[in-house]
Amino acid sequence: MNVMKKRLLSLLLAVGCLSVALTPALAAPQVGTADPDLVLPYSEEEDPLADGNHLRSGLSGSDSEIFDKVFGAKISYVSSYTGKTYYVPSDCKVYDGIDVSKWEGTINWSRVMGDGVDFAFIRVGYRGTSSGALYEDPWYDQYMQQANDVGMPVGVYIYSQALNQEEAVAEAKFALERVKNYNVQLPIVIDYEYYTGSGRLDTANLSRRQKTQNVLAFCNTVLDAGYQPMLYANKSFMTDDVYAEEISEVAPVWLAHYTTNTSYSGSYDYWQYSESGRVDGISTDVDCNFYFTDGPLIPENSVCGFKDVLSSKWYADAVSYVYNAGLMTGTSSTTFGPTESLTRPMMAQILYNFCGRPAVTYSKIYTDVPAGQWYTNAVIWAAKNKIMLGYGNGTFGVNNTISREQIATVLYNFSRQQKLDTSARTSLSAYSDASKVSGYAVTAMQWAVASKVMSGRSANILAPQSTTTRAECAQLFKTYLTGPGASLMKS
């Protein structure tokens, strides 16, 4: 909870603000209903941002008295992108950001960063204003890749027209599916607003409670996937159309209000203050935003909800990749265990997850693999498919760690089984400990190093007998599935 929200809650408690009764959600009218998961090719006719008629700005004006009561002292802050002076909390750090869609056209992200922009939100897609189908922004992948390449912190947003919780969940899943291959450090946002008075959300006449339930369904789906959700809406929508304070207990709020001193009395973390900023590297006007916080721009525990995977760590992207691909989960709901050694059952489980967790009939093929353990099906599946075998003494070694050369061997055999090209080879002679590679693992290690799936612990140390941490394993699988095993992700 940020400093502004703390102050607001204190104020509301002090004045005895009315609470909102949690009444059952009302059924949404069936206006323009469609398959909530239907995805169609981009349509400008259905794009709510195509003609500038979306209702993003809310109400204009200001009320410094409300601002003073909620946030306390304020200071002036000049935006480099509008040239105007804005009034912001005095004891919060202010980060400058933008949000973009295809309508900004070609963006030079290096120049954007050079102009002092701290973060960006990129539109992943939208639900059609009349068809109700989902559409991907045609510039999304290009923007995301280029922003990631220059190190710009990004979040994503989807323009919602959800009429019910099912559609809101489908929108969340649409966004989640499309962030898997990118480094998303900021929230995944539901942009909930009306369209010109004639869009499907406008004409559905949903209750305030139903719209709130839709937003919460989106946010909870995003939270369950390990990301931070957020609600974007304009001032009037926040005030009259949803119970924003209820939502703010689950997710931060991004307020749209084009003024220099907002009169919105609710809590919010982001403020979209203009739609006509000018930023170097973008040839059009662009939406400009402030982010207020008493901490860093990117929370240090923001990666997939794991408190022990800090966004600044070298393995953060890899953990995000394997988690969102369904390959690895945490050692608990809040920890990933990046420094813990990978065990043989963990390795079997990763490959079992990747192959879709096929049905397994239990048989006691190893004395140390009883029925009903978290790893049982994975170990039996791996053995029956000759992907990982046990020891000669009749055990699998469920408590044993797995060495680097063993991982290379398992992946090499798995790749051959999947009919991938495994012909790559390189000499290991550059490593002073090459002689420590076991005879059975030489070919696999030559392939792994040549394919860049595995590298030395240093320039001349391969460490074939060393154990592998879970963080190293995450990086190895990301490298494998974006390199020699990339075709498996498409099948």
Give 389-433 pLDDT, tens digit per residue. Answer: 999 899 999 999 999 999 999 999 999 999 999 999 999 999 999
**b/e map 421-455, b = 16+ CB within 10 Å:** ebeeeeebeebebbeebeeebbebbbbbbbbebbe
Domain carrying residue 327: 317-490
Same-domain check for residues 197 and 322? no
Whether 302 is in a domain gets the answer: no
Whether 301 is in a domain gets the answer: no
Same-domain check for residues 287 and 210? yes
**CATH number, residue 71:** 3.20.20.80
Nearest-CA neighbor of 143 among 189, 167, 178?
178
Whether 251 is in a domain gets the answer: yes
pLDDT digits (tens, 9 = 90+) for 143-174: 999 999 999 999 999 999 999 999 999 999 99
**Which tokens in the block code for residue 118?**
């701290």
- Tell me which H or E stretch contains 136: strand 134-136
Q: What is the pLDDT of residue 50?
A: 81
Amino acid at 142: Q
What DSSP designation does 54 have? B
- Of 293, 327, 344, the one marking the end of a domain is 293
- Contact between 472 and 350 (Cβ < 8 Å): no
Mean pLDDT estimate for the chain: 87
Whether 309 is in a domain gets the answer: no
> Alpha-carbon distance 445 to 202, whole Å?
61
Question: Based on the structure, what is the number of domains in the chain?
Answer: 2
Residue 35, classed as helix, strand or coil, is: coil
Whether 478 is in a domain gets the answer: yes
Q: What is the pLDDT of residue 53?
A: 53
Residue 379 predicted with pLDDT over 60: yes
Same-domain check for residues 165 and 265? yes
Same-domain check for residues 405 and 453? yes
Same-domain check for residues 87 and 143? yes
pLDDT digits (tens, 9 = 90+) for 188-202: 999 999 998 788 999
Same-domain check for residues 286 and 331? no
Average pLDDT on 132-143 reads 96
**Alpha-carbon torsion 418, 424, 429, 430, what sign?**
negative
Residue 34 predicted with pLDDT over 70: no
pLDDT tier, 481 (very low <50, low <70, confident <90, very high otherwise): very high
What DSSP designation does 449 have? H
Q: What is the pLDDT of residue 300?
A: 64
pLDDT tier, 314 (very low <50, low <70, confident <90, very high otherwise): confident
Whether 305 is in a domain gets the answer: no
203: Cβ–Cβ under 8 A, 6 or more apart, which residues? Answer: 31, 32
Same-domain check for residues 455 and 327? yes
Question: pTM of the prediction?
Answer: 0.62
Same-domain check for residues 260 and 332? no
> Alpha-carbon distance 289 to 307, whole Å?
28
Same-domain check for residues 467 and 367? yes
The CA R_g of the chain, rounded to the nearest whole Å, is 26
Whether 117 is in a domain gets the answer: yes
Beta bridge partners of 87: 76
Same-domain check for residues 265 and 326? no
> Alpha-carbon distance 229 to 239, whole Å?
20
- Of 277, 293, 309, the one marking the end of a domain is 293
What DSSP designation does 133 have? -
Same-domain check for residues 158 and 73? yes
- Of 293, 309, 330, the one marking the end of a domain is 293
Whether 257 is in a domain gets the answer: yes
- The phi, psi pair for 244, rounded to 5°, reads -65, -35
Q: What is the pLDDT of residue 463?
A: 96
Same-domain check for residues 346 and 404? yes
pLDDT tier, 243 (very low <50, low <70, confident <90, very high otherwise): very high
